[in-house]
């Protein structure tokens, strides 16, 4: 399927869907200051989610936010601990 910018701009959108509407994107500032520490310690995203009582996808979105603000960097092993 080819992407045609002109056709997207001409045609009105239909059947819009709000994605991730069931997630909570609000974080308290102290949590966002603690999250990089968990990241640097190599915490598995699923365990970090349990720590903050959050959905793992909410943690992922917060990590993306922090990465875009240069508050975290890549780490060996990525998001999950090896089992």
Q: What pLDDT is stored for residue 22 in this prediction?
A: 96
Q: Where are the domains of the chain?
A: 25-74
Give me the average pLDDT of each 10-residue run along the chain (83 residues): 61 83 96 94 90 96 94 78 53
Q: What pLDDT is stored for residue 31 in this prediction?
A: 97
Q: What pLDDT is stored for residue 10 in this prediction?
A: 67
CA distances from 75 to 26, 48, 68, 80 (A): 25, 15, 15, 11
Q: What pLDDT is stored for residue 35 in this prediction?
A: 96
CA distances from 45 to 14, 34, 72 (A): 35, 13, 14
Alpha-carbon Rg for the chain, nearest whole angstrom, is 17
Q: What pLDDT is stored for residue 55 in this prediction?
A: 97
């Amino acid at each position: 399927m080819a992407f045609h910018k002109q056709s997207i701009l001409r045609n009105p959108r239909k059947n819009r869907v709000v994605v991730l509407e069931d997630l909570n994107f609000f974080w308290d500032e102290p949590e966002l200051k603690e999250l990089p520490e968990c990241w640097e310690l190599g915490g598995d995203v699923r365990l970090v989610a349990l720590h903050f009582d959050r959905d793992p996808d909410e943690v992922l979105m917060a990590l993306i936010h922090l990465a875009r603000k240069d508050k975290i960097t890549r780490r060996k092993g990525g998001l999950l601990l090896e089992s």
